[in-house]
Chain A
Amino acid sequence: MTASENFLTVEDVTLYFGGNAALCEVSFGVRRGEILAIIGPNGAGKTSMLNCISGFYRPQHGRIRFKGHDLTKTPTHKIAALGLARTFQNIALYTGLSTLDNLMAARHIHMRQNSLQSILYWGYARREEVAHRRRVEEIIDFLEIAHIRKTIVGALPYGLRKRVELGRALALEPELLLLDEPMAGMNVEEKEDMARFILDIYERQGTTIVLIEHDMGLVMDISDRVVVLDFGQKIAEGTPDEVKRDEKVIHAYLGDA
């Protein structure tokens, strides 16, 4: 595998918190149009890896390349516009806004009205609001959340909030979607819905997806390739079948399950 095949390239990323290395020289690539799962026991550094990619943490060493940009050096607020979106393990919605406005807020990078045009709310700004509203309604229909369109998200149950957060990430129209435990804490039915949505996004829109997930059965079912982290180090990478048979993985992860 050469670097040029990769859509996203993580090179020797090392991240310290005080004296503790949360990530230690981790390298891997994500190919365009695949679902890559990152797995590993609790505290392995999966979320930290996602935080580095999305510009939320700055690793002390290493590079993360995406479409010719080094994400470790890109200002955080400019990363979304490169075509990268994510969801959070602990849900980070705008709790005071409705479902609709949460998704509309994500259209920020696609809207062209400046603040003065917002204030006047006339002509261009008004037309733009309607145009983006139309796009957002498509996502709302796709995720089957039309009934909570105008509900303030702070009041929604956990499973629905996870779904709205996925909607907000989709409203960015990303080329690369990072999902941090999208199904954690859900019941079986909600998990199945979420898996169906993820596969739909992947198949219909060709979005590349990096997914952190604990449910091994699910990971094996939907991902093309798997990266395994343990204590901040990459201990394996490969197809689900290869990873499943890997000695180190069985020992570190499947072994204690």
Chain B
Amino acid sequence: MPSYKAEYTFDGVFAEAGLSSLKAAVEEFELVDWLYWCTTGWKKPYLSKYKMQPNSLGSMELEAFKTDQIRNFSIIAHVDHGKSTLADRLLELAQTITKRKDNKQVLDKLRVERERGITVKAQSASLFYDYKGKKYLLNLIDTPGHMDFNFEVSRSLAACQGTLLLVDAAQGIQAQTVANFYLAFGQDIRILPVINKIDLPSAEPDRVASQIEVAFEMPAEECLKISAKSSLNVDQILPAIIESVPPPPGDVEGPFKALLFDSWHDTYVGVVCLMAVIDGRVKKGDKIVSAHSERKYEVMETGIMYPEQTPTVSLQAGQVGYFVLNMKTLSESHVGDTFFDHKHIGTPMPGFVPAKAMVWAGIFPIDTADFEKLDHSIAKLTLSDSSVMVQKETSTALGQGWRLGFLGTLHMDVFRQRLEQEYDANIIITAPTVPYRVEYRDGTEKLIRNPTEFPDMDEISQKVRSVQEPMVRSTIIFPNEYLGDIMVLCGSRRGVQLEHTYLDENRVLLKYRLPLAEVVTDFHQELKGRSSGFASFDYEEDGYDDADLVKMNIVLNSKPVDALSIILHRSQAELVGRDWVKRLKGLLSRQLFEIVIQASVGNKIIAREGLSAMRKNVTAKCYGGDVSRKMKLLNKQKEGKKRMKAIGGVEVSQEAFYDFMSKKK
């Protein structure tokens, strides 16, 4: 039994909570409830306001939870199959959070996550659960479903011995179901198939179960069939986990060893590291050392996510919890790092292949005076999202800015939205570029993250052996009837078919090898469009291929606009050029002079549009009384001009740029 020693007087606090004393509180609640009440009912201010003694209420004693009473699992699935909703139900079931009607994806804490209804960052939460007379400590990790955030899934899996593979009963297996299954499969952890949303009228749980059998070779009858929304059969989940997921391996008596698999920045305590303790035991004051940096740290605090940070007296083998180590910057916390007791340094865990930037884009302040402020904001935001790569960049058209590397275009969009919402930033973001590779005849190589770095015609003909583009292996799943259309689409994107499987009589799984550049922009949208929204899609990197690539420039009144240049396959330059030039024309407003918008490759103009000069812009009347009003307006207009970017002498508003880049118009 865990012990919760309480040696304090909290009478004031109890009174506020409507209880006469601590004794009354203890009598009123069961132990587990009691813990829950402490964290949710009192919230943090109380816990810190009244100084805690060690072993007092503020620090939970988890020593009694030996590895056989611990299960660590994650929830993985395709986008929107209900991971976060199931996490809510499990937290309620274990009374980590109060059961309420309006618990909606409580682990999705970021504003973007709540607004978009998606999970971006994996989140952990601990649950206490009684099963067959025994108390269990369960650690759950909710993961994102979108492919951009695959890396979150892999590192979460490293801290688990089991996972719930959730499949929507109406949609069946989708591309990320497959991708995530293989991630889990590769890590050799117990996979529990769960069919969710069986409450939906269109649910076909049996059919989905047989798809699972075909695709993953897991017996159909092993699937749990639940509704995370209505809670139907959700009570079967935790027992199934306890029964079939193995307890974490590890030796409580051995020297301390832990795997760091996530970290974030907390305004109050600084860097917080989430670790899975492999062996041994650790408590406040212990000295531990990072295998990656060999730096030594003193443990300032340990605790579990319950679901907020809740201190514990110690953490030990098998447990998953957070550490405060007095790290100054997030860069010190290397995801995949192993920590040891400072006197017993052993062999580190294999670690993770670092997340790779799949797309790069330039970000610039609209008003060059905002550079410093934006620099600060980007630095801060990357503290909470270390998967963003940052380099400085200078553009002739847009001035000083940054070139940022993202995991995908959704990731890029989320980052932009967070910059705008959380930091009030006014920015322009360029079209994303995938990382190209140039191999020179002298054997050297160059990675190209920015079209301006692309070698010019002369350089290509004289010095370059090959230009290469990154390739992906993609999985596309959809109903049979769309097969023709989708094959045409993949063909037009220069794809090569690798595999063609029927998951059941009318579900097809295709594998294609495609250039990354062809899939990062609007491929997904196109797929959805051609399949009435039914196709799903996922990809993984698959090396580099030689390709006939060119750089297309956009030229405004004979001045090339570097921020608008892109690298394309030669066969597409003309089509894209015409489209861009036309859309630009639609977005620019008339100015005092004619604007000639051209797209060029090398010296060749491939598309051209003209926007004639503004003919008239003058108020009919300007009488005495209007003059002061007119002056105010004039000053405002002048300010407005400052917020426009003059590109090649042509003024482009932020909205126009934004609409252009986001292909809204």
Say whether A and B bind each other: no
